[in-house]
Structure 1
Amino acid sequence: MRIDLSGKIAIVTGATGELGRVMARSLAQCGADVAVHYMQNAQKAKELVEELQATGVRSVAVQADVTNQDSISQMAKTVQAELGDPDIVIANAVIQIHPWSSVLEEDPSDYESQFQSCVMQSVYLAKSFIPGMVRKGGGRYIAINTECAMEAAANSSAYVAGKRGLDGIVRTLAREVGKHQITVNQIAPGWTVSEQYYDAPEDHDAGYRATVPLARRGTDQEIANVVAFMASDLASFITGAYIPVCGGRIMPAI
């Protein structure tokens, strides 16, 4: 048994980011053609497309503002013209907030940006890509959430609010499109070891690791592995799920 995405078409939003590019590579390694979405980093998108094409799959770079419906609609037209209707949509892009603040001190614009990039991105992606999945008789919609949504730690309210809103949208979407054999799921990483942390001091995350039952941080590849599985036919009867990939740091209850 192996993950085989041959003949499938995927789009990854935020594909030039730390986790996004590993997800794109993993989907391509499983045989999927991949549309690489970017917001500003056209050069990195070009390099990633060339890397994916070298593995033998088709790939194209597409630019869009994920908080704008017209921009996503135009991106969808480009993907459809270049590759076809996607079977797999990975909603990974998000607007980062730095630094995080308390509810009393957080700028209201941070809540608005999180709502737009978490909730409205998925609304716009669904409107643009779900009809193609319906025509094809099935598909996979995977939203990247976070362990923070369940943890609700102090000073994370804007980020948590956006990701909690995302949870509501995609769970509802799962109920609405299931009859078309389209699954809709969420993957919730913890604080992940990605490229920016490869050379970090060994003890820089000791406090966090102490809160993880597996006593370590997950890697970008481990997140991408779950994405690939959920995108495959092996996960054909899983929908509406929120799947933590955080070493047990959060454990949804039944």
Structure 2
Amino acid sequence: MQLNLSGKTALVTGATGQLGRVIARTLAACGANVALHYISNTTKAVELQREIEALGRQAVIVQGDITKQDTSFRIRDEVESKLGGVDIVVANAVIQYEWTSVLEQAPEDYVSQFESCVMQSVYLAKAFIPHMQHMRSGRFIGINTECAMQNFAHQSAYTAGKRGMDGVYRVLAREVGEYQITVNQVAPGWTISERDRTSGAGHDEAYTQTVPLKRRGEDQEIANAVAFLASDLASFITGAYIPVSGGNVMPAI
């Protein structure tokens, strides 16, 4: 049994980010052609495109503000013209901001999280789900977070955005299931990325003591979960919120 995405086309939003780049590489390593969305890091986008092409896959780079509906439709048209219809959507992009208390958090931070978590997913669905419905196949995957279950201090804007996103994905899973389209979320814990490995900041004793596996997860472990959900091995999994957090959060029945 192999995880094989050969012949599939994937779109990864925020592909130049710390997690996005690993997801894109992993999907390509499994055989998919990949559309790499980015907002501003053109250098990294071109570098990532070359990496994927070196694997023998096709890769295109697409730029734009994914919180705007017209951008999602333009990206769809660009990708379809170069790679064909998209089989796998990974909504990974999110706006970064400084976390503080509810009383101190700027109102615009709540708006930015709603736009980048909820509305990004809505616009991507409107742009890419119709093709999946026509093909009666598809994978729609969102990157959520363990924070959506933790509700810790200073997480309010991020948690609000991700919990809203969760609602969209669960409803969408019910709406498109008859077309054999699966809709799932991967929820990372505090993940070690390339930046952490470069800076040597991969360990935090206070955090790891709360994790049953007593360590932080690796970006590759998150990407592995995404690739699994994108594959035929996960054909009967939909509507799921799957923590990849070493047991730090555990959804209950």
**Partner residue, 1:41:** 41
- What stretches of structure 1 of length at least 5 have no aligned partner? none
The whole-number CA distance in structure 1 between the counterparts of 2:177 and 2:56 is 32
**Partner residue, 1:74:** 74
Show the 5 A alignment for 1:83-162: 83-98=83-98, 100-162=99-161
Q: Does 1:242 align with 2:241?
A: yes
| Alpha-carbon offset, residue 64 of structure 1 | 1.7
Against the structure 1 CA distance between its residues 186 and 72, is the aligned structure 2 distance closer, same or farther, given a 3 Å change threshold? same
| Alpha-carbon offset, residue 177 of structure 1 | 0.3
**Partner residue, 1:8:** 8
Normalised to the residue count of structure 1, the TM-score between the two structures is 0.98
| Alpha-carbon offset, residue 72 of structure 1 | 1.3
| Alpha-carbon offset, residue 200 of structure 1 | 4.1
Aligned residues: 253
Against the structure 1 CA distance between its residues 207 and 11, is the aligned structure 2 distance closer, same or farther, given a 3 Å change threshold? same
| Alpha-carbon offset, residue 199 of structure 1 | 3.8
Against the structure 1 CA distance between its residues 31 and 125, is the aligned structure 2 distance closer, same or farther, given a 3 Å change threshold? same
Against the structure 1 CA distance between its residues 118 and 203, is the aligned structure 2 distance closer, same or farther, given a 3 Å change threshold? closer
Summarize deviations over 1:190-244 as a string: whole Å, max 9, x none: 0001011114446851111111000001100000000000000000000000000
Secondary structure at the aligned position of 1:198 is classed as helix
- What stretches of structure 2 of length at least 5 have no aligned partner? none
Q: Any conservation in 1 of the 2:189–2:243 contact (CA below 8 Å)?
A: yes
The whole-number CA distance in structure 2 between the counterparts of 1:179 and 1:96 is 36
Runs of 4+ in 1 over 2 A off after TM superposition: 199-204
Q: Percent identity?
A: 64
**Partner residue, 1:28:** 28
The whole-number CA distance in structure 2 between the counterparts of 1:124 and 1:74 is 11
The whole-number CA distance in structure 1 between the counterparts of 2:94 and 2:161 is 10
Root-mean-square deviation (CA, aligned residues, Å) is 1.0
Letter of the 2:108 partner, please give it.
Answer: S
Q: After superposing the two structures, state which structure 1 stretch, 193-202 or 160-169, moved more.
A: 193-202
